[in-house]
């Protein structure tokens, strides 16, 4: 749950009081075009950017854990994983080394064998390219690897930042379908930032539209989102 979060870089304010909530087991889309604060919000949740104001709280089994002021390492340790914008793989390490690094956190090490088998089954292409350097993969393969690497950390909450960027439409569909598959097999809660409205709403239960650092609209279903004028204006070209 995120409440009244304000954040920015230096003197530039990016988020102006953002509040949103993601419930357990949901897939929520965070929609917005470039530069509206989607990535910044995900970075705040992960502890990469420290919010100037507001609360970010993880509620689990009645326990409330504030995420503000924690380091990314600690937040990963709480079971939250981010598939970052631009994928950020380790290009000079092999596919397998990238995956194993995903399992760095203690809870994940215990489940490493099962997770690795799962990832190689779910992403056959990664199995074929196990010993190749991550930097030599194609864009679509890299996005798959970034997803798989995040799953290796046995997260309960998966944050995905713009999985569609730089991919051909057919690959975007595949990546989006994989996110749903992972969510179902691992009982994940997913928050996905995306500007590709049509793709995001394929798997989202509901969503938020963020404009200039503020939540402009909360759609309780994908239908509500599709019918909203902002979406019509920005995404559907109606």
Partner 1 sequence: MFSLDLLTDAVVAGILLGGFYAAVSLGITLAFGLLDIVNIAHPAFVILGAYGAYVGNSRLGLDPIVAGLLGMPVFFLLGMVVYRVYYASFEKRGDESLRGLVFFFGIIFIIEVSLLLQYGVDYRSVDAAYLGATLELGPITLPFRLAIPFAVALGLTLLLHLFLSRTFWGRAVKAVSQDHLALRLMGASPVRVKALAFAIAIATASVAGALLIMIGPIEPSVGREYIGRVFAIAVLGGMGSIGGTLAASLILGVLESLTSTFYGPSWALAVSFGILLVVLAVRPAGLFGR
Out of 41, 82, 147, 157, name the contact with partner 1 by CB under 8 A: 82
Buried b (16+ CB within 10 A) or exposed e, 204-231: bbbbbbbeebebebbbeebeebbebeeb
Q: Residue holding tokens 């509206």? A: 36
- Closer by beta carbon to partner 1, 14 or else 31: 14
Stretch that binds partner 1, among 5-13, 24-32, 33-41, 94-102 (CB under 8 A): 94-102
Stretch that binds partner 1, among 22-30, 97-105, 123-131, 189-197 (CB under 8 A): 97-105
- Closer by beta carbon to partner 1, 24 or else 73: 73
| φ and ψ of 145, to 5 deg | -65, -40
Q: Is 91 in the site for partner 1 (CB under 8 A)?
A: yes
- Closer by beta carbon to partner 1, 109 or else 232: 109
Q: Distance (Å, rounded) from C-alpha 231 to C-alpha 234?
A: 5
| φ and ψ of 147, to 5 deg | -65, -50
DSSP letter, residue 156? S
Residues 6+ apart with CB under 8 A from 189: 22, 23, 24, 25, 26, 27, 156, 157, 158
Out of 101, 125, 165, 230, name the contact with partner 1 by CB under 8 A: 101
Out of 33, 65, 66, 71, name the contact with partner 1 by CB under 8 A: 71
Rg of the Cα atoms in the chain: 17
Q: Is 68 in the site for partner 1 (CB under 8 A)?
A: no
Q: Is 81 in the site for partner 1 (CB under 8 A)?
A: yes
- Closer by beta carbon to partner 1, 51 or else 102: 102
Q: Distance (Å, rounded) from C-alpha 56 to C-alpha 68?
A: 6
Binding mask 103-132 for partner 1 (x = CB under 8 A): xxx--xx-----------------------
Which residues contribute to the site for partner 1 (CB under 8 A)?
46, 48, 71-73, 76-77, 81-82, 84, 88-93, 97, 100-105, 108-109, 133, 149, 153
């Amino acid at each position: 749950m995120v409440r009244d979060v304000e954040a920015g870089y230096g003197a530039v304010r990016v988020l102006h009081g953002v509040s949103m909530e993601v419930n357990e087991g949901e897939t929520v889309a965070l929609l917005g075009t470039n530069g509206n604060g989607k990535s910044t919000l995900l970075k705040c949740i992960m502890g990469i950017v420290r919010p100037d104001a507001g609360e970010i709280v993880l509620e689990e089994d009645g326990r409330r854990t504030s995420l503000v002021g924690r380091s990314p390492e600690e937040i990963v340790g709480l079971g939250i994983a981010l598939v970052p914008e631009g994928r950020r793989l380790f290009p000079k390490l092999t596919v397998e080394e990238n995956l194993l690094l995903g399992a760095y956190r203690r809870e994940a090490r215990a489940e490493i064998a099962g997770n690795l088998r799962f990832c190689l089954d779910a992403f056959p292409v990664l199995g074929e390219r196990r010993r190749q350097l991550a930097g030599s993969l194609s864009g679509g393969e890299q996005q798959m690897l970034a997803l798989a690497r995040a799953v290796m950390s046995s997260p309960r909450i998966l944050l995905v930042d713009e999985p569609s960027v730089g991919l051909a439409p057919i690959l975007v569909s595949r990546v989006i379908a994989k996110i749903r598959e992972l969510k179902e097999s691992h009982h994940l809660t997913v928050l996905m930032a995306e500007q590709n409205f049509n793709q995001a709403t394929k798997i989202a239960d509901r969503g938020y539209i963020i404009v200039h650092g503020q939540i402009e609209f909360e759609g309780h279903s994908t239908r509500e989102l599709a019918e909203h004028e902002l979406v019509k204006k920005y995404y559907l070209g109606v």
